[in-house]
Amino acid sequence: MKIEEAITLFGYHQRSNQKTRTIQSYRPLLQKIQEQFAGRSFDSLGPDEIYRFLEAITEGQAKSTRRLRFAQCKAFYNFLIEKADLNMRNPCDAPILAKGFKAPKQVARRILERETVEELIYNADNLRDRLILELQARCGLRIGESLKIRVKDVSDRRLILEAPKSGKETEVAFMPEQIAKRLHDYIQKENLSPDDRLFPICYSTARAAIRRIGKRLNVSLTPHDLRRYSATHASRSGIPLEVVSKVILRHQDLKTTQAYLGKISEVEAIRWMDILHGR
C-alpha cells in the first residue's frame, strides 16, 4: 500500500466516523505526509524517519501542538494497520518518539470558591457583564458561546447554541429561573430585536472585562475559570457526573468532564463520607 492510498482510505474513514472539526485538525499533518512521502510504501517508514519528519513540521511550535501531531500520526498508523490487517508494528510506538513527544506535565487547575464567584458577580460593572459571568459560572457556557447568542435563541429558560464546539448543528443550554428573568429584563431594557446579539462585543473585550472584575477582588481570572467552576460546584453539590457532563458542560465524553473537576481535599473527602454514611 502506497502512502497516498493509505491517506485516501483514512479520509473515507474520517468522513464516515469523525466530526468536521477533527477532520480539519488532521488535515495539516496528512498534507505534509503526502508532500514528503508520496510514492513511498506505507510500511517503509521507520521510527527515526518519522521522528525527523515530526520534528521538522512542529519546529518552534508549542509542546501541546507537537504532542497532538504525534498522537495523530500514531492514530493514522493504528487505523491502517488494523484496517488493512498489516503485519507490522506501529513505528510511532518506538521509545524515541514516545520520549520526544511526551505529553506536557499537567498543571493542577485552581478552582474558584463559591463565595468568590458570588462576589465577582455582585461586583460586575453592569447587567451585561453580570449576565456574561452568570451564563458561564451558573450555566456552564463557554465565553464564545455566550457572545454568539441572539435574542431569537432565547426561549424561556432555554438557550439554543448555534454551531457549538461539538460539531453539532445546535445544542441546548439551560438557565436557572432568576437568570432567565434577568436576561429577559435585559433584552427589554436594551430594546433588542430577534436577530440582535445579546452581547455585541468581541472576545478580547469580554475577557478584559472579566479580568478587570477579578482584579478588583485580587483574583486572577479567565473566562474558562468560570466554566470550570460551574462543573466543580455542580459535582460538589451532589449532581450526578452524567448530568454535569451532558447537561451543564455538554461534553461528548465523561473523561473530558472529569479533567475539569478540581482535586478533592482530605477535608472534603471526609465531609462527603459523613454526608453519605453519618458520623
Are 58 and 69 spatial neighbours (Cβ–Cβ below 8 Å)? Answer: yes
The whole-number pLDDT of residue 276 equals 67
* Contacts with 216 (C-beta within 8 Å, 6 or more apart), sequence order: 123
Q: Which cell goes with 226?
A: 468560570
**Residue 256 pLDDT > 90, yes or no?**
no
The cell for 13 is 474513514
Share above pLDDT 90 across residues of the chain, in percent, rounded to a whole number? 58
pLDDT at 268 over 80: no
Residue 181 pLDDT > 90: yes
CA-nearest of 74, 84, 63, 62 to 13 is 84
State the Cα–Cα distance between residues 76 and 92, nearest whole angstrom. 10
Residue 143 phi/psi, 5-degree rounding, is: -60, -40
Is residue 28 within 8 Å of residue 35, measured between CB atoms?
no
- Mean pLDDT confidence for 161-170: 81
Q: What is the pLDDT of residue 193?
A: 96
pLDDT greater at residue 273 or residue 65: 65
Alpha-carbon span 279 to 103, nearest angstrom: 42
Residue holding cell 458577580? 121
Contact status, residue 152 vs residue 188, Cβ threshold 8 Å: no
Average pLDDT, the chain: 88
- Give the range among 71-80, 108-117, 153-162, 210-219 with minimum mean pLDDT: 108-117
pLDDT of residue 111: 78
- The predicted model gives 49-64 an average pLDDT of 91
pTM (two decimals): 0.65
Which whole number is the average pLDDT over 89-96? 91
Confidence of residue 263 (pLDDT cuts 50, 70, 90): low
Helices (H), the chain: 3-17, 20-37, 47-57, 63-83, 95-100, 114-122, 127-137, 143-148, 177-190, 203-216, 223-236, 241-243, 254-260, 266-277
Which residue type occupies 167?
Answer: G
Distance CA 197, CA 150 (A): 4
Q: DSSP of 114-159, one letter per residue? A: HHHHHHHHHT-SSHHHHHHHHHHHTT---HHHHHH-BGGGEETTEE
pLDDT tens digits along 229-252: 998 888 888 888 888 888 888 887
Mean pLDDT of all residues in 245-262: 79
Domains and CATH numbers, the chain: 3-100 (1.10.150), 114-275 (1.10.443.10)
| Cβ–Cβ under 8 Å, residues 116 and 89 | no
3-state DSSP assignment of residue 173:
strand
Check residue 75 and give its pLDDT: 94
pLDDT for res 196: 96
Question: Which of 24-38, 95-109, 163-177 ranks highest by mean pLDDT?
Answer: 24-38
Condensed to tens digits (0 to 9), the pLDDT of residues 98-142 reads: 888 877 666 656 778 889 999 999 999 899 999 999 999 999 999
